[in-house]
Amino acid sequence: MSSTGPRRPGAGGAGARADRVKPQPRARATRQAILTAAAEHFARNGYHATSLDSVLADSGGTKGALYFHFASKDALARAVIAEMVQRWRDLRGQVNSHGLDPLATLLALLDEVIARLLDDPIARGGTRLLNDLPVAEEQARAHYGFGEQECLDLLTQAAHAGLLREGIDPAVAARQIVAIVAGNRQICDALGERHDLRQRVEQAWQLVLPAIATDTWLAAWRASR
């Protein structure tokens, strides 16, 4: 019952701790291992059905290691989401530099999003957690808001380049593109047919692209594949 424990040096401050001192490589590795294993379990079973013991069994870590790096189960889940959002932010620079026009860039970008949604445990776990976690509105806003903004940027560029049809509101289109991806992903997941996601999104493009792009761009795009 003694609350005089001087231990837990930066307890709950895994973020505040890493700022000052350099984290040892070993610590970084175990943290990452636990984070990844947790993301996998979260993706498969959801937040509440995931037990920390099972995560630790898969990651090779222990309770001590976990509660050194993360203040609670909730903090662990939020760390998964934060990691996912960070990776989304890093995505832009990895795809963009091919000299493609804005619309083609958007397609390439979303193709990479699909790839991660299919394979990357962090992305899969993070997206599921956005729905499982009771109060994750803030992180959900960061996630979906960033996706929308990214789409909006490219669509606005496309509009300025004259690639969009008359009367298309880039903001509406951006928002709905995000929703379409999210919806197809969710349905694929519910049906247990995750690998169908890519095909479904292609069908979505088949429907939406003619609605937003000019005929000339469409013709050129169809010719280029």
Site residues, a copy of itself (CB under 8 A): 45-49, 130-132, 134, 136-137, 140-141, 144, 167-169, 172-173, 175-176, 178-184, 186-187, 189-192, 200, 203-204, 206-208, 210-212
Give every CB contact of residue 149 below 8 A, 6+ residues apart in sequence: 174
- Residues in 53-72 at the binding interface with DNA, rule: CB under 7 A: 53-54, 61-65, 67-69, 72
The pair of three-digit structure tokens given for residue 23, joined into one six-digit string = 């984290």
Q: How far apart are CA 159 and CA 156, in angstroms?
A: 5
Q: How far is the CB of 58 from DNA (least distance, A)?
A: 13
Contacts of 130-137 spanning 24+ positions with Cβ under 8 A: 130/81, 132/42, 132/46, 132/47, 132/48, 132/77, 133/47, 133/74, 133/77, 133/78, 133/81, 136/78, 136/81
Residue 132 touches DNA, criterion: CB under 7 A = no
> Interaction with DNA in 69-128: which residues (CB under 7 A)?
69, 72-74
The CB-of-131 to a copy of itself minimum distance in angstroms stands at 6
Amino acid at 137: E
- Give the shortest CB-186-to-a copy of itself separation in angstroms: 5
Q: Which residues bind DNA (CB under 7 A)?
A: 2-3, 5, 7-10, 17, 21, 23-27, 29-31, 50-54, 61-65, 67-69, 72-74
